[in-house]
Amino acid sequence: MQQAIRAESQLAAVLSWDDAIMYYQKNRHCDDGALRESYTNLLANKLSQSDGLTTLWQTTARRRWFRSVVAQRMESEVISAETTRAIDQNLSQNCPIKAKQYCRRLHDRIIRLCETCGLDR
C-alpha cells in the first residue's frame, strides 16, 4: 500500500519520456487500478502534444520495449475522446519517417478504442 502511495506521489514529477520510462521501471509492480489509469492518461497526454511522438521515438531508440508499453496503453478506455483525437492528429501529421509502422499500430489501437471520436480508419 505504501508503495502505491509513493508511486502516485511520484507521478506528478514525470515530465519527460525519460521520466516516464524511469517511473515505469521503478513502479510497474504497482501498475493497476487508479495508478494504472493515471499513468495511462499521462502517456496519452504526452502523445497528444505536437512533439510527443517524435520525442518518444527519439527517446526510446535504445529502449524500444517502452514503445510497446505505450502502444498497449492506447487501448485504454480512460483516455478522453479529445486526447484520442489529438493523438490521432499527431500520428497523421507528426509521425517520424522511420516510425510509420509504429504510428499505424497506434492508430489501429485508438480506432478500436474510440468508435465515436470521429476518427477515420
pLDDT in tens, 51-65: 999 999 999 999 999
Res. 77 pLDDT band, cuts 50 70 90: confident
3-class secondary-structure state, position 80: coil
16 within some domain: no
Confirm if 24 and 10 have CB atoms less than 8 A apart.
no
Q: Is residue 79 part of a domain?
A: yes
6 falls within a domain:
no
In a domain, 87, yes or no: yes
As given in the structure block, the three cell numbers for residue 116 are 465515436
**Structural domain of 57:** 37-113
| Domain membership flag for residue 93 | yes
Q: Do the domain assignments include residue 14?
A: no
Q: Tell whether 23 is covered by a domain.
A: no
Global pTM value: 0.89
Give the total number of structural domains in the chain: 1
What number is the average pLDDT over the span 115-119? 61
In the predicted structure, residue 2 carries a pLDDT above the cut 60: yes
Residue 76, helix vs strand vs coil: coil
Chain segment 14-52, per-residue pLDDT in tens: 999 999 999 999 988 877 888 899 999 999 999 999 999
Q: Please report whether residue 100 resides in a domain.
A: yes
